[in-house]
Amino acid sequence: MSTDSAIRVVNDTEEGRAFLQERLALFTAVLAAVSFAFWVLLVAMQLPMRPGGLPTMQSLAGTMHVLQVVVLVAIRASLSRSRGTTTLYVFDAIAIVLSSVAFGAMAVLGHDAPRPAALRAYPQAINMMPAITATILIFLGRAILVPSTAKRTAALAGAMTVILSIASAIVFKRHLPPPVASTWPMGGVYSAMWCVTAGILGVVASAVLYKLQARARIADELGQYRLEEKIGEGGMGVVYRASHALLRRPTAVKLLPRDRAGEHTIARFEKEVQLTSRLTHPNTIAIYDFGRTPDGVFYYAMEYVDGLDLEDLVRRDGPMPASRVVHVLTQVCGALDEAHAVGLIHRDIKPANILLCERARAADVVKVVDFGLVKEIEGANADARVSALNTIVGTPLYLSPEAILTPGDLDARSDLYAVGCVAYFLLTGAPPFGGTTALEVFAKHMHGEPEPPSRRCSVPAALEALILECLAKDRERRPDSARTLRKRLDACGLDPWTDDDARGWWSERGTALRESRATVSPSNETLAVDLSQRV
């Protein structure tokens, strides 16, 4: 299940950082307690061998255990206050590296410390196995307790492997009888095999637990919606296919993480939901629910459409016949007519925001999506802080001249210009104006004349004239409303695109295209330019 992006959304939030800090504090506290317990055991074991009293710090093992406890207690104390994610990662690495170095040093340098007579008969090399075992147990404990990506766990496993392999090779060379000591490189290999095995287990454990923890928090925060798979991503957020926990209804959930946007963007995102939820046209995406998670991730649940966006469809299947273009645009105009009637303009009509699907046994059903740039045109209700009147918002290839020159003074005819651009693209396979930069495209929208689509493909004269009328620089020369445009599309006199035509296409091409959907072209990216910040 492809939920890596969803997991990052949740784990990269303030709550995710706090959860990491809480688990790291628990891990260091447990590790310090265990290390202290082993030091006490070491003291107890040495008491019978030292009739004169308690063992001194001459014991290297005792010294290393005490050092571990001191460092870990210091880290645990530091974690009582809020720390940044980078600092937490450093503390995480210190705990594992310190354990590897400490136990490796015990095995390598243990011969330099005074040893009770009862232990001198044992070869020093046997110290290596407890060192490896102890470090591996600590590493696996960390994989269970501390939320971590597989990549970060693998890096720590690599550090542990290098340190213990070097220590093991040194022990073999220095503390085994001469004939065996000549095989000292095998000591490193022996240690590396154990560490790599533990590393693989730790990486798998981290990956599984990291995802499970994130999914648990997502389930808790999004309540009745369970995320399943990412289906889209853009500057305004990430969209996932989801399901309702009780109704089992396919749903699309859009998330806007707090750390990816400021309060202004979040306010606009909330406005999108509130405005779009007022629309009930069958060709407009339906909004089911919205809210914020406890850590500030704003989300809303909407109708899930298992279809094709027009950008992807034309790029992969080629231009549409004129009758089908009229069929599609008629539905788009229906959705826009309702929005315009309640005082809303979309501002980002483009092929990628128009989905084509099969719905209720009907084929070629249009759904207009992504009202994230919607703007109220009723002066009494408009919120200047949310509408961002000084900002060019939209997709360069489909922006009207007035959206570029005077973005604060738009009306419904700006959407109709974009509909003309979409119609041009559907017929010819290319937008009316292209360019290598946004500024070049802007200039053509403002001053260039589009090449008549009939020079690129066969198109009825009446439809071509209507499209060029929608693309007029002066909005007064465009159709005055979406309803008017819809009526004039019907009046073009084309043979209708029938239900049989639509069903035939979906049977022959649509289903296969839907099942092998491609990534949307970068040309679809929405642009936001703050004019108040221009130099």
Q: Which residues are catalytic?
A: 348
Give the DSSP H or E segment for 356. Answer: strand 354-359
Residue 330, phi then psi, degrees to nearest 5: -60, -40
Contacts of 39 (CB under 8 A, 6+ apart): 62, 65, 66, 69
By C-alpha distance, which of 341, 357, 314 is closest to 506?
A: 357
Cα–Cα distance measured from residue 281 to residue 115, given in angstroms and rounded to the nearest whole number: 85
Structure tokens at 313: 């469809």
Residue with tokens 């491609």: 518
Which pair of tokens denotes residue 302? 């909407």
Q: What share of the chain is helix, strand, coil (3-state, %, to 5)?
A: 60, 10, 30
Q: Are 402 and 410 in contact (CB under 8 A)?
A: yes
Query: Can you tell me the distance from the alpha carbon of 535 to that of 502, in angstroms, rounded to the nearest whole number?
Result: 51
Determine the Cα–Cα distance for residues 161 and 165; give it in Å rounded to an integer.
Answer: 6
20: CB partners within 8 A, 6+ apart: 11, 85, 88, 146, 147
Q: What is the dihedral of CA 335, 337, 339, 345, to 10 degrees?
A: 110
> What letter represents residue 228's amino acid?
E
Give dist(CA 236, CA 367) in Å, integer: 19
Beta bridge partners of 292: 298
How far is the CA of 88 from the CAs of 10, 93, 210, 216, in angstroms?
Answer: 17, 9, 16, 22
> Would you call 94 exposed, middle or buried from its count of C-beta atoms within 10 A (0-12, 13-18, 19+)?
middle
The 8 Å CB, 24+ separation contacts for 450-456 are 450/424, 453/424, 453/427, 453/428, 456/427, 456/428, 456/430
Is 225:253 a contact under the CB 8 Å cutoff? yes
Using DSSP's 3-state secondary structure scheme, residue 462 falls into helix
- Measured CA to CA, the distance from residue 457 to residue 505 in angstroms comes to 20
Strand partners, 354: 368
Count of CB atoms situated within 10 Å of the CB of 176: 17
252: number of Cβ within 10 Å: 21
d(CA 165, CA 148): 24
